[in-house]
A and B are shown apart, each in its own frame.
Chain A
Amino acid sequence: MRDLLTLESLSGQDIGDLLDLAQNMAEILDRPIKKVPTLRGKSIVNLFFEPSTRTRNSFELAAKYLSADVINVQKSGSSVEKGETLWDTARNLSQMAVDAVIIRHQVSGVPQQLAEILDIPVINAGDGSHEHPTQGLLDALTLRQAKGHVAGLKVAIVGDVLHSRVARSDIWALLALGARVSIVGPPSLLPSTYEELGVEVTTDLKEALADADAIQVLRLQKERQSTGEIPSLWEYRLRWGITRKTLQYAKPDAVVLHPGPQNRGVEIDSDVLDSSRSYILQQVRNGVAVRMAVLFRLLGGGHDE
């Protein structure tokens, strides 16, 4: 593995190995002093062209816990704003002896295009509506911790699957690890062709949640209403919102995940979000561990403890 661009391209074995590594990394986070010398002397660029706090900070902390040096580049104030192409910006950074590029971009495929021109590892931190591979890994890790395994679980992914890079990465990871996946949401926001992948597709929340061991609740982008894809946020909540009532459609011990940030009272209610069924903060913590694992795997990690 030279880059991490998609989970689609990884086997169940690859994903399982990364999760094992992430589990080890998670132990570092429990220590009073979290810094290990694993990536000392390595430098990493966080190239974020889309607003992001959680993922960017998570990558930055992951790199720093492994003793790598990190710089953050955002579109605002960068040479790209002056007209330089993203490809040239990346080439220039690469010439500064950077060891890896972490890229977040609003257009699908940009990390793949970047990987074609750079000879250092490229890590996709979310591209358009395509994939968010580290999110898919951290979701799988959280599920594995919550349930002890992923194979055989039924996971319902609820919401705007069509535009969700998280859903795509989750689907590839979960299918590769042997889970059953059901997707549910408004018909205008569901990729009907996903049945070809072996995913159950329905607009009926009750059907999707039946026998579910876990529910991944996607954030609803409020502009879906202004673009005419849903009538109103209220109507969305009535049909696809995860509330204490609709949660009962799932197994009694079903766990709730959400990639964040959440719209409380729209796709998920606060009493669910803040309940013991919610593993959302665990996801955030696992995010750092997963990103440490990915950086370690791609950057060689010659100083592993």
Chain B
Amino acid sequence: MTNKAETCWQIQNVRVIDPFRGIDSVEDVFVVNGQIAERATATDCRVINARGLWLVPRLTDMHVHFRDPGLEYKEDLFSGSQAAAAGGFTVVCTMPNTRPVVDIPSLIHWQITRANEIGLVHILPIGAISKGQQGSELADLYQMAEAGAVGFSDDGHPLVDSRIMRAALSYSKTLGRPIIQHAEDPLLAAGGVMHEGSISHQLGLAGAPDEAESVMVWRDVELAGLTGGILHVAHISSPGSLEALDYAKRRGLRVSAEVAPHHLFLTDEAVREWNYNPVTKVNPPLRPDTTRQLLIQAVIKGLITVIASDHAPHHEDEKNQSYKEAPFGISGLETFIGTIFRVFLDAGLLSPLHLFRLITVGPQDVLGLDYPGLIPGASADLTLIDPQVTWTVDGQQFYSRGKNTPLQGTKLKGRPVATMLDGRFTMRDQEVLV
């Protein structure tokens, strides 16, 4: 049984950046019995002097792959939860492309229960849109939603059939949960292992053009218009997709999009720099700098409202193959904060309050969740960040089983130093507290 002193924390002189309430100010934060508390109710608290640190409530990564069930050698719910806590996150949404596919309520329920047992992060599962992610028959969306699925996606398997997509979007409206599409025309992208452009032409690697993504985003936007459904575009990465997103916004459709940190930070030049090492192989592929700049501008303008990691851990033996054979994916949870700080804060492109909106309010809005921010009574899910610390990425130090990062050796500035879930520290000084 925990004693009183351990259930009360006073986090002193911390810069509170709370996008839920639109607040950015230095103050003390009190946590009593797992919840945010008023100063008056807090007595005998343990004091943390957090001068110079930032405190942000409930960081949400709405796109991660924890590979459990079935592919635990890449990642399981425990190692994934550790990676999330180390990365500063208190909420993650797990994609359903596991073995078996998460397409039934019992698997949703099992993931949530298992996450609660682990106790390091809230897992809000995303269920499959179609049975077995086969793209031909809708899964039981309502029952999965009742079990706790916060959205639906066949991620990794683009939903090609327009009729099924239409039906899914129609259902999403009745459930209030988004259809999250990995937008990619599989035939146009067939064989592509990187972005099609001057680098792919010079390296002799088969490329997938931007348009393999954007043609499907345009179709889906039209279907969102037809159905009034809730469409969320996963890991958006092409100029045409941004045009479609803008068009949807002007029409007032319920369409949103997320971008991954690696698409904001790296370009297809990395494939050459890494000398064909598949550590840069990701789907959608790393794009040229012109596209990267467009994505950054789309975030600044508010067209893209979410940043999500698309954390895709793989075993070293799988990545240690030829570029063609190796699987797509980057292990992204533990470099997330440092990467987006480099892109937006170091360059002075966004205020911290605006930046953190993209991993707090942004995903919560898309998923229809209602965390209130740091008000008394709210769950004490928060992250302390040292914005000044510089560190060098070393994948071997990741808690994730996936050590696959093209940021290996990169110097970043800014890192989570403590993560708290329901009032209990899950990470302090980069040590995950199980």
User: Are A and B a genuine interacting pair, yes or no?
Assistant: yes
B322 touches A107 (CB 8 A): yes
Which of A19-27, A124-132, A203-211, A239-247 lies at the binding interface? Answer: A124-132
**Given A87-B320, A109-B323, A168-B204, A116 and B197 contact (CB-CB distance below 8 Å):** no
Complex CA gap A162/B203 in Å reads 11
Chain B 269-299 per-residue mask, 1 if CB under 8 angstroms from chain A, else 0: 0000001110000000000000000000000
Which residue of chain A has its CB nearest to the CB of B201?
A: A191
* A110 cross-chain contacts in B, Cβ below 8 A: 276, 322
Closest Cβ of chain B to A85, distance in Å, is: 7
Which residues on B sit within 8 Å (CB–CB) of A194?
Answer: 201
Give Cα A107 to B326, complex, Å.
11
B residues near A127, Cβ cutoff 8 Å = 204
Interface contact A108-B277, CB-CB below 8 Å: no
With a CB–CB cut-off of 8 A, which chain A residues contact B397?
none
106-137 of chain A: CB within 8 A of chain B: 107-110, 112-113, 116, 127-131
Q: Are B204 and A131 in contact (CB under 8 A)?
A: yes
> Any chain B CB within 8 A of the CB of A95?
no
Cβ of A107 and Cβ of B275 under 8 Å apart? no
Among residues of B, the one whose C-beta sits closest to the C-beta of A109 is: B276
Contact of A193 among B197, B205, B275, B276 (CB under 8 A): B197
Within the complex, which residue of A107, A162, A165, A168 is in contact with B324, where a contact is CB–CB below 8 Å?
A107
Q: Contact at B201–A108, with CB atoms within 8 Å?
A: no
Asked if A200 is at the interface of the complex by the 8 Å CB criterion, the answer is no
Question: If the complex has contacts A112-B275, A112-B276, A113-B275, are A85 and B320 also in contact, measured as CB distance less than 8 A?
Answer: yes
Q: A105 on the interface (CB 8 Å rule)?
A: yes
Contact of A128 among B201, B204, B275 (CB under 8 A): B204
Report yes or no: B322 in contact with A113, Cβ–Cβ below 8 A: yes
| 8 Å CB contact of B203 from A86, A108, A196, A197 | A108
Of all chain A residues, the one with the shortest Cβ separation from B325 is A107
Once the chains bind, are A109 and B203 in contact (CB under 8 Å)?
A: yes
Q: Check: B2 CB closer than 8 A to any chain A CB.
A: no
Cα distance A196–B203 in the bound complex, in angstroms? 14
Number of interface residues of A (CB under 8 A): 25
- Interface assignment of A8: CB less than 8 Å from any CB of chain B: yes
- Contact between A109 and B201 (Cβ–Cβ < 8 Å)? no
Residues of A within 8 A of B322 (CB): 86, 105, 107, 109-110, 113
Q: Looking across the interface, which residue of chain A has its beta carbon closest to that of B198?
A: A193
The count of chain B contact residues (Cβ–Cβ below 8 Å) is 18
Determine how close the nearest CB of chain A comes to the CB of B71; give it in whole angstroms.
19
**A168 and B205 in contact, given A108-B276, A113-B322, A193-B197 (Cβ under 8 angstroms):** no
For B275, give its contact among A116, A129, A191 (CB under 8 Å): A116
Across the interface, name the chain B residue whose C-beta is closest to A128.
Answer: B204
Q: Most A CB atoms within 10 A — which of B203, B204, B320, B322?
A: B204
Identify the closest chain A residue to B324 (Cβ).
Answer: A107
Chain A nearest CB from B325 CB (Å) reads: 7
B206 adjacent to chain A (CB < 8 Å): yes
Q: Please provide the chain B residues from 202 to 217 with a CB less than 8 Å away from any CB of chain A in the complex.
A: 202-206
Tell me whether B408 is interfacial, beta carbon within 8 Å.
no
Q: Cα distance A162–B202 when bound, in Å?
A: 9
Q: In the assembled complex, how far is the CB of residue A227 from the closest CB belonging to chain B, in whole angstroms?
A: 9
Q: Are A130 and B204 in contact (CB under 8 A)?
A: yes
Q: Which residue of B lies closest to A195 (CB)?
A: B198
A281 to B200, CA, bound (A): 32
| Interface residue? B106 (CB, 8 A) | no
- Which residues of B are found within 8 Å of A191, using beta-carbon distances? 201
Contact B205 A128 (CB under 8 A): yes
A298 to B249, CA, bound (A): 60
- Complex CA gap A202/B76 in Å reads 52
| CA–CA, A129 and B277, complex, Å | 17
Let me know if B202 and A108 touch, CB within 8 A.
no
Most buried by A among B197, B203, B320: B203
User: In angstroms, how far is the closest chain B Cβ from the Cβ of A78?
Assistant: 16
Decide: A129 and B198 in contact? CB cutoff 8 A.
Answer: no
Q: In the complex, how many angstroms separate the beta carbon of B323 from the nearest chain A beta carbon?
A: 5
Interface hits, B195-248 → A, CB 8 Å = 197-198, 201-206
**Interface membership of chain A positions 227-269, coded 1 if the CB is closer than 8 angstroms to chain B and 0 otherwise:** 0000000000000000000000000000000000000000000
Residues on the B chain within 8 Å of A130, using CB: 203-205
Return chain A residues, CB-CB under 8 Å to B203: 108-109, 130
Complex A-B: 5 CB contacts under 8 Å: A129-B205, A129-B206, A130-B204, A131-B204, A193-B198
CB within 8 Å of B: which residues of A? 8, 85-87, 105, 107-110, 112-113, 116, 127-131, 162, 165, 168, 191, 193-194, 196-197
- In addition to A107-B323, A108-B323, 4 A-B residue pairs with Cβ atoms within 8 Å of each other are A85-B320, A105-B322, A108-B204, A193-B198
